[in-house]
Structure 1
Amino acid sequence: MDGAGAQVSDGVRRAGRSQYCDAAGVKLYQRRVTDPPETILDAVREVEQTFHKAGYHLPLWNTGTTQTLPLNDPLEPEQAADHAVRFYLAGLYARNWGLERMYFYAWGNGKIPIVLQAEGQPPTKAGLLVAVLQQWLAHARVTSCGHGPEVSLPKNVWECRFTAPDARGAPGTTRIVWADSGTATVRAGTGSSIVRHLDGTALALDAEDSVQITERPVFIEHTDAPSA
């Protein structure tokens, strides 16, 4: 996002009023609507660092996007679906830098680049895939998120790991893995049992199996904690 940190820094220095706030509202969006959703994380880091330098430690809330968003053309349905799911995941990833809430702009609006469900219409593919993601994450608790070589993944691959009860109610470990562009191959990892796709298909896995990663996230279940 252009100028996010500069605007926050200027406001903190000139007003010095953040000490009286419960949270800091920021607007997070890609420079272009076609850019990967993960690019908003640069702005999150910049804002968090700016507050840290100023001596404030406020929780961050993403309260929307740019006013010009409705002026952009809609994304193609497949890209819109991928971006909607990854925007949600980027919000979870941004918890690393104090982002506590993230809102999807203009739910019900049919005139924005990513439409989940226009008023009076059935859900779009983007809306349906976000619903599947929410099912995956029901009762889950995020434990960590990482990107690229820092977590022994290819440089274009991201993941978030969770704990959640399995079908028997026993504690289980899962991870959601995706690419910001292109494709990659990753090892399933220790205790892998199944990989689930957003279209509802699933495939059994062994620890040494390879999983093809694309710009559409996959859900990998583990019987034990996965290896790095």
Structure 2
Amino acid sequence: METLAEMTRRASRTIREYDKDATVVCPSITDLWKKESHAYLLRFAETGVYQHCDAAAVNLYQRSITDPPETMLEIIRRVEQTFQLAGYHLPLWNTGTTQTLQLNDPLDADTAANHAVRFYLTGLYSRLVQRMYFYSWGSGKIPLVIQAEGQAPTKAGLYVDRLQQWLADAEVRSCGHGSEVPPSETPETPLPENVWQCVFLIPDEHGTKHPARICWTLSGTADVRAGEGAYRVHHLDGTTREIGAEDAVRITERPVLVRYR
């Protein structure tokens, strides 16, 4: 560990000599479902090495490839606690997964598409992770394929692209699920316990920002009142539906975007 810390300090110093504006990211810590990995992360922080970095990197992934992406929030909270113990509050980047990923069976197309979109939403939901790097874009040998090199995007790839279009220049305002969502952030109180959401301010064609909600379930379905000002539901397949305040929106494991005037 002392060698790794010294290598990081030297690398940081050398990088800054050549580019003072470079963002230096400390080495990524993995296997964070294990207690000993958090002990390792704490010892690494106690070397003082994070003062030489602009961001801290960790590998965030589900315990099982078939688990919902939202289960990563458990280890994100543990990582936050570990850094609080160490006295560091650097931006957090998710830079990878486990080396055994390729040993898992492929996910079916629908599950893969839902999980790919919710992978990024989970990062936003955490309010802690500044960057979520998908591992590995271009590979066709992992359970969740976005776009294998030389091939057309999968359904997962197309849905991630749609999410990017939805959130271009958006600002995240709040995230929560079920009864933890404050009444001011949902038209239905309490929100069904299986419904998760993030509220954004999204610019229109004139650049004026308006509220919007992306909603999904961890499992199952729920019907939620659209709420005052709601006028359109957007689906990841590109279809839309005009709605009113009293209309019910069917929420499933595939996120939808509800726009408000």
Larger Rg over CA atoms: 2
Correspondence for 2:174 among 139, 144, 148: 144
Secondary structure of 2:42 counterpart: helix
Specify the SS of the correspondent of 2:144: coil
After superposition, the C-alpha distances for 1:7-56 in whole angstroms (9 at most, x for unaligned) are 23433236612333322211111111110010001110110011112222
**Residue-pair matches, total:** 221
SS of residue in 2 equivalent to 1:45: helix
Output one character per residue of 1:127-169: Cα deviation in whole Å (capped at 9) or x when no partner.
0111111111112111111111111321111111111222343
User: Structure 1 residue 112 and structure 2 residue 112: aligned?
Assistant: no
What residue is the counterpart of 2:91 in the other structure? Answer: 59
Q: 1:50 to 1:206 in 2, by over 3 A?
A: same
Could you say what secondary structure the match of 1:107 adopts? coil
Contact 1:84/1:114 (<8 A) preserved = yes
1:211 aligns with 2:243: no
Unaligned segments of structure 2, at least 5 residues: 1-30, 182-189
CA spacing shift, 1:139–1:4, aligned 2, 3 Å: farther
Q: Are 1:121 and 2:151 an aligned pair? A: yes
Determine the structure 1 residue equivalent to 2:163.
Answer: 133
- Counterpart Cα distance in 2 of 1:8 and 1:70: 24
Contact 1:176 1:220 in 2 (8 A): yes
**1:42 counterpart (69, 74, 88):** 74
Residue identity matched to 2:108: E
Letter in 2 for 1:130: V
Counterpart AA for 2:158: L
Give me the TM-score of the superposition, normalised by structure 2. Answer: 0.80
1:85 maps to amino acid: V
What CA RMSD, in Å, does the superposition of the two structures yield over aligned residues?
1.6
Kindly indicate whether the alpha-carbon contact (under 8 Å) linking 2:32 and 2:38 is maintained by their aligned counterparts in 1: no
TM-score scaled by length of structure 1 = 0.91
Whole-Å separation in 1 of the counterparts to 2:37 and 2:163: 33
- The equivalent of 1:197 in structure 2 is 235
- State the match for 2:14 in structure 1: none
Match of 2:40 among 10, 16, 19: 10
Q: Is the 8 A contact 1:70 1:113 kept in 2?
A: yes
- Per the alignment, residue 23 of structure 1 pairs with 55
Report SS of the residue matched to 2:211.
strand
Distance 1:24 1:137, change over 3 A: same
CA distance in 1, matches of 2:237, 2:210: 22
Mapped partners of 2:135, 2:152: distance in 1: 18
Equivalents in 1 of 2:45, 2:168: separation in Å? 41
Q: Deviations over 1:163-211 (max 9, x none)?
A: 1222343321111000111111111112111111111211111112111
> Which shifted more, 21-30 or 104-113?
21-30
SS where residue 148 of structure 2 aligns?
coil
> For 2:58 and 2:146, how far apart are their aligned partners in 1?
22
Distance 1:15 1:54 in 2: 6
- For 1:154, what is the secondary structure of its paired residue? coil
Alignment check: 8 A CA contact 1:5 1:47 kept: no
5 Å-filtered alignment, 1:64-103, equals 64-95=96-127, 98-103=128-133
